[in-house]
Structure 1
Amino acid sequence: MSAVTFHIRPPSERERNEAGFRLQKVIRPRRGGETVYVGHGAPAGGAGAGARPRFALYRDLAGREPLGFVVRPVAGRSSGVRLAVLGPRGEALGELETPAKRARWRPRHEIRLPDGRVLAGHGGTATSWVVFVVLSPLWLVVNLLWAVGGSGDAAWSLPVRTAWRRRQGFRAPLKYHGMTGRYRVRTDRLDVRVAYAQAVVHGSGSAS
């Protein structure tokens, strides 16, 4: 099994200064993969009528080696936002569907692939919610202590671990571990460029 583990981080000052485009994020590998730079860009030849570039993935800071692009809008029936993930030459790699703004309980993120597969990731896995409920009395005590201490912060947080898998699937091609902010993609089951794009959208909390 081939896997890539990575984080999404803000760029350093040096990277911002050296970038040949407006640099937004940096995908930093933990195991496997390569450093990828996220910023503005559009696929060569355009992305179709009405499509607007959202962001691009580059291998280099100069912006000469694009890995792929994300554009919107793409016609869809969802109440969320549909984005298209394109390769360097504008070829379709997949589509991303973000949750509707009104979605509060386990928001659903979807990856739709050209072969018809749909990978759905819900905010907080069933296991993480069970653990959360069992430990909620402890979290309540901790938060009360933090409140009394006057730190102004809260330790309470809802489960955010997310696993993208098929409806009948057991193994998830893409996982997000909320405690560490780490993503892990199985590259034999999902194009790493689509995983990178989904991670950027998921991490931003908005696709508008």
Structure 2
Amino acid sequence: MPQVRFSLAHSKSSREASKKLPYSVWHAILQERGRKPDTVAAWVAHGTPVTPSRADAARADTFPADTDGDPLTPTFTIYSEAEPLRPMCVIQADDSAGAGAESYSVIDDRGQVLARISKSRSPLGLRRAWRIEPTGSGNPLVGYRGTLRSWLLFIVFLPLWLPLTLVTIVVIKLDLDTGDEFTWEPPQRTVWRSRPRDLLASAALDSRLSAYRWTPTELDARIAYAQAVLHRVC
């Protein structure tokens, strides 16, 4: 099955939606359609689900409470664009991860845990690692920050990039009196696979710059969207 491309964006559609919906839209999840305009697949909002009607109030109680200042936050709710008052899932930080790691639960609209997503380090401790563990069907997926090829190129050209970076920072300082406009980072691309060491294995989720490629047969859409949100903010 072909991959679906989507991205997270705070666009005009997000601002317009915030005026109409009972919650403030943080980002829109935009699904790419080739040459056609991107369509909104879902809305992402901070906090637990907003339930404006009494009929929905009981369902809201199945979700963990969002506590300001709690180290287990942030909490996000993803709403379907087709049913913007019905949450697709909630992303809630939890304390199931071990030392030096972060863990998050992805909870469906019935309060059931769909998956747990954790952020830690690779076995050698050199790269950031994401792990998706679905609670139902589906294999665990692991993604490492930066592919082996991108890290190899990064190391090979490092002697050239360092002086160029220094010159750029000096020029920015002289012209703008600040270095905030320039950021230099190592490889960012992350590919989630059930067999992360097998480079020929199919990718369930693949991040490239600000866009994601997702294989629907490999990963539930709600989990894919949740991982993309966490990948963006954590």
Scaled by the length of structure 2, the TM-score of the pair is 0.73
Change (3 A) 1:45 1:18: closer
Name the structure 2 match of 1:89. Answer: 110
Contact 2:62 2:110 in 1 (8 A): no
Name the structure 1 match of 2:131. Answer: 110
Q: How does 1:121-200 map to 2 (within 5 A)?
A: 121-150=143-172, 152=179, 153-154=181-182, 156-167=184-195, 169=198, 170-177=201-208, 180-200=209-229
Scaled by the length of structure 1, the TM-score of the pair is 0.81
The Cα offsets for residues 160-179 of structure 1, whole Å up to 9 and x where unpaired, read as 111111236522201111xx
Considering only aligned residues, what root-mean-square deviation do their CA atoms show, in Å? 2.9
The Cα offsets for residues 145-190 of structure 1, whole Å up to 9 and x where unpaired, read as 313423534463211111111236522201111xx31111111111
Equivalent position amino acid for 2:185 in 1: S
Contact 1:58 1:66 in 2 (8 A): yes
Change (3 A) 1:55 1:93: same
Q: Kindly, what percent of the aligned residue pairs are identical?
A: 27
Moved over 4 A (4+): none
Equivalent position amino acid for 1:159 in 2: P
Q: For 2:147 and 2:219, locate their aligned partners in 1 and report how far apart those are by CA, in whole Å.
A: 20
Contact 1:84 1:96 in 2 (8 A): yes
The Cα offsets for residues 113-147 of structure 1, whole Å up to 9 and x where unpaired, read as 12362211111111110111122233224313313
The Cα offsets for residues 65-108 of structure 1, whole Å up to 9 and x where unpaired, read as 322222232534454222111222223321111237xx983111
Contact 2:48 2:65 in 1 (8 A): no
Change (3 A) 1:146 1:183: same
Change (3 A) 1:156 1:71: closer
Contact 1:10 1:26 in 2 (8 A): yes
Q: For 1:76 and 1:154, locate their aligned partners in 2 and report how far apart those are by CA, in whole Å.
A: 34
Contact 2:3 2:214 in 1 (8 A): yes
Q: For 2:162 and 2:3, locate their aligned partners in 1 and report how far apart those are by CA, in whole Å.
A: 37
Equivalent position amino acid for 2:188 in 1: V
- Larger radius of gyration between Structure 1 and Structure 2: 2
| Structure 2 SS opposite 1:72 | strand
Q: For 1:112 and 1:78, locate their aligned partners in 2 and report how far apart those are by CA, in whole Å.
A: 18
